[in-house]
Amino acid sequence: MSDVYQLLIRELGAARVLRGEDKLYSYARDESPLGFFYPEAAVLAESREEVELVLRLAAEHKIPVTPRGLGTGMTGGALPVAGGIVLSTERMKKVKEVSAEDLLAVVEPGVVLGEFQTLAEEHGLFYPPDPASLAMCSLGGNVAENAGGPRAFKYGVTREYVIGLETVLMGGEALAMGRRTAKGVTGYDLVGAFVGSEGTFGVTTEITLKLLPKPTGVATMLAVFSSIAQAGEAVTAILKKGQRPRALELMDRLAIDHVRPKSQYVFPRDAGAVAIVELDGDVEGLEAGVQRCADACAAAGGLEVFVAKDEAERRRLWQGRRICSPSLREAHRYKVAEDIAVPRGSIPEILRRIERLAARVELPCATYGHAGDGNLHVNFLVDDDPKSAPVRRRIEAAREGLFRETVALRGTLSGEHGIGLSKMKYMTLEQSASLISWQKKLKRLWDPENLLNPGKIFP
Q: State the residues that interact with ligand MLT by CB under 6 A.
A: 74, 131-132, 324-325, 337, 339, 369, 377
Q: Which is nearer to ligand MLT, 39 or 131 (CB)?
A: 131
Q: Least CB distance from residue 268 to ligand MLT, whole Å? A: 20
Distance CA 338, CA 427 (A): 14
Single out the residue of 233, 216, 255 nearest to residue 346, CA to CA.
233
Q: Cα 1 from chain centroid?
A: 35
Of residues 167 and 325, the one with the C-beta less far from ligand MLT: 325
Q: How far is the CB of 140 from ligand MLT (least distance, A)?
A: 18
Nearer to ligand MLT, 137 or 294 (CB): 137
Please, are residues 80 and 98 in contact by the beta-carbon 8 Å criterion? no
Measured from the CB atom, the residue of 74 and 106 that comes closer to ligand MLT is: 74
Query: CA 217, CA 219: separation in Å to the nearest integer?
Result: 7
CB of 64 or CB of 320, closer to ligand MLT:
320
Are 273 and 227 in contact by the 8 Å Cβ rule? The answer is yes
For residues 311 and 452, what is the distance between their CA atoms, to the nearest angstrom? 44
Closest CA to 78 of 68, 89, 88: 68
Q: To 5 degrees, how large is the angle CA 405–CA 407–CA 408?
A: 60
Of the candidates 245, 246, 252, the residue with the CA atom closest to the CA atom of residue 267: 252
Query: Which amino acid type is present at position 359?
Result: A
Taking the complex as a whole, the smallest distance from the CB of residue 256 to ligand MLT amounts, in Å, to 14
In the complex, which residue's CB is closest to ligand MLT? Answer: 325
Residue 63 or 147: the one with the smaller Cβ distance to ligand MLT is 147
Q: Name the minimum Å distance from CB 323 to ligand MLT.
A: 8
Within 10 angstroms of residue 435's Cβ, the number of other Cβ atoms is: 12
**CB atoms inside a 10 Å sphere around CB 437:** 11
Nearer to ligand MLT, 89 or 133 (CB): 133
Nearer Cβ to ligand MLT, position 255 or 427?
255
Q: Nearest distance from residue 325's CB to ligand MLT, in Å? A: 3
Least CB distance to ligand MLT at residue 135 (A): 12
Q: How far is the CB of 250 from ligand MLT (least distance, A)?
A: 11
Residue 33 or 171 having the CB closest to ligand MLT: 33
What is the edge-to-edge ordering of all strands in the sheet holding 85-88? 17-18, 41-44, 85-88, 65-68
CB 371, CB 232: distance < 8 Å: yes
Helices (H), 170-310: 190-194, 228-240, 253-259, 283-299
Q: List the one residue out of 377, 244, 270, 382 whose CA is nearest residue 322.
A: 377
334-341, strands of its sheet edge to edge = 304-307, 217-225, 273-281, 247-252, 365-370, 375-382, 334-341
In the complex, minimum distance from the CB of residue 272 to ligand MLT, in angstroms, rounded to a whole number: 20
Nearer to ligand MLT among residue 170 and residue 336 (C-beta)? 336
How far is the C-alpha of 246 from the C-alpha of 311, rounded, in Å? 16
In whole angstroms, the minimum distance from the beta carbon of 148 to ligand MLT comes to: 7
Alpha-carbon gap, residue 212 to 209, rounded angstroms: 10
CB of 72 to ligand MLT, least distance (A): 9
